[in-house]
Structure 1
Amino acid sequence: MNLQCTNVLEHFMYIHECLQIEIKENESYLLHYSFDKQFDKSQWTYYLDFLPVSFQKEVLRYRRWQDRYNCLLGKLMVYAGFYLFNAHKIEFKNFLKDSYGKPFIKNSNLNFNISHSGNTVVCIFSHQDIGIDIEEIQHIEYTLFENVFSDQEMQKIEQYGVSKFYEYWTKKEAIIKAIGKGMSIPLLDIKLEDNYSIYNGNRWYTKSEKMGNVYCSIASQYQQNNVNLIELIF
């Protein structure tokens, strides 16, 4: 499924009536948005004021406008997703972070994970533990990452080039984010196989693909995780 929504904050009733979605146990929904310019002043103010003051301060701590947009849009995506998949608005007081800094919604059985890079923001929703990572594709010096990849993984990267680097990097990051313990997990401890990855004796399945100018990977413990795409418009 690949859906496109109108303005996600001004038309929640439209979304509720036309696109209300029940997520099945073996599937996830990936909301994505890419921007190429800044909002006009009134639009920026509208979206920023939609958030509580504490979240506004978090957004405005960033100096680069692109980083501010990534932070703001990630939070708006969570809001939009909960309306799509739970049929009600979340209260921002329940939008919290755990001791590792992973965001979650209190008293909800819906899991989500946010990632952004360059001018693209994504947020994935599922009933299972889920992780997502995207990275803007740029020239990279592989040898600087020998402490991240095994010898076998480095050989594959050297053989196939930049696309394999970003595939492997985003897979490992997505698994870390699904586990939810941040960078306390060494990337080298995650062993990548052809169809799955292993960390601490547990098997993780990943899906990876290029989306425009970013590489994206999703990690879950379901071998058959059906990923549905929804493009949001702000």
Structure 2
Amino acid sequence: MNSDYFEITGKSSGFSDGDCLLNVVLKIIDKSYFSGFTPRQKAEQLSILARKAALMSAELSGICVGISFHKNSEGMPLSQNGIWWGVSHKPEIVAGAVSHSPVGLDVEIIRPVSERLMERVSDKSERTLFKDDPVITFFKIWTSKEAVLKLLGKGLSGLSECKIHDVIANDHISVRYKERIFSVTCFVSGTYIISVVSLPDKVKLVYDC
């Protein structure tokens, strides 16, 4: 696979980051931060914090164009002056990235999941490609597929057409969506996992402490 995000029958897709490094900013939130918040207020704050992480990513990458964080009617982030952005958040963690190429990322908290959910998200042939325990395997598959679907602006309705194509070194995963193959890098840190559509040497995870 070359430095493009994906290839279509061996031809460049046009989603290439060239020699640019994708800085993905991750921030872990202390539970006390949300003390007294209603569920709606908490969701709003998580969205704000995720966008702050994206702005930090833009600064680290030397991208000075203002980001409006506009989305289309389907909730897909819209580019602005050739600048793309992506965010993801869960109750205790947020992530954001800004790039000159389309961004796809997903973050999750690692937790027990049912066998039924595992089978819904993946089939046995996909899971056998991994060397991790079943729960880590599930979240690598789930976040990898979600990152690709977010990049494409697809919802969970596209999950059935998203398949793990190959696994390299257990944290570099290629994901197939219809005829397209995407390169995804997974990072596992403690009880958190984040997957980013990028080649391993093109992405850097930065913690906002």
- Which band: TM-score by shorter chain? 0.7 to 0.9
Aligned-pair CA distance for 1:136: 0.5
Q: 1:127 aligns with which of 81, 92, 100?
A: 100
- Kindly indicate whether residue 72 of structure 2 is the aligned counterpart of residue 98 of structure 1: yes
1:204 aligned residue: 182
CA drift at 1:141? 0.7
- TM-score, normalised with respect to structure 2: 0.74
Q: In 2, are the aligned partners of 1:26 and 1:225 still within 8 Å (CA)?
A: no
Cα 1:66/1:33, change in 2 over 3 Å: same
Contact 1:82–1:90 under 8 Å retained in 2:
no
- Deviation at 1:211? 2.1
Say which structure, 1 or 2, has more relative contact order (CA 8 Å, 6+ apart).
Answer: 1
- Segments of 5+ residues of structure 1 without an aligned counterpart are 1-22, 42-59
Listed as ranges, the matches of 1:10-29 within 5 Å are: 25-29=19-23
Q: Secondary structure at the match of 2:144?
A: helix
Correspondence for 1:213 = 191
From 119, 125, 131, the counterpart of 1:146? 119
Q: Does 1:162 align with 2:135?
A: yes
| Residue 156 of structure 1, CA deviation | 5.7
TM-aligned CA distance change 1:64 to 1:29, over 3 Å: same
Q: Give the aligned partner of residue 47 of structure 2.
A: 71
Does the 8 A contact of 1:132 with 1:178 survive in 2? yes
Structure 2: gaps (5+ residues): 1-16, 169-173
Q: Deviations over 1:185-229 (max 9, x none)?
A: 1x1211212241211111101111212321111114xx4552123
Partner-residue secondary structure (3-state), 2:74: coil
Question: May I ask how many residue pairs the two structures share in their alignment?
Answer: 186
User: Partners of 1:87 and 1:207 in 2: how far apart?
Assistant: 22
Contact 2:182 2:197 survives alignment (8 Å): yes
Select which of 29, 32, 41 maps to 2:26. Answer: 32
How far apart are residue 159 of structure 1 and its match? 7.9
Q: How does 1:52-91 map to 2 (within 5 A)?
A: 63=39, 66-86=42-62, 88=64, 90=66
C-alpha displacement of 1:166: 0.8
RMSD: 3.0
Change over 3 Å in CA distance of 1:158–1:66 after alignment to 2:
farther
User: How far off is 1:102 after superposition?
Assistant: 1.7
Closer/same/farther in 2, CA of residues 102 and 160 from structure 1, 3 Å limit? same
- TM-superposed CA distance for 1:106, in Å, is 2.5
CA contact (8 A) 1:66 1:119 kept: no
Higher-helix-fraction structure: 1
CA distance in 2, matches of 1:40, 1:160: 32
Moved more, 143-152 or 206-215: 143-152
1:143 partner letter: R
2:156 to 170, 183, 188: 183
Note the alpha carbon deviations across 1:56-108, whole angstroms, 9 max, x for none. Answer: xxxx9x626543431120122233333444464626xx33101320223532x
Q: Give me the identity figure in percent.
A: 24
Larger radius of gyration: 1
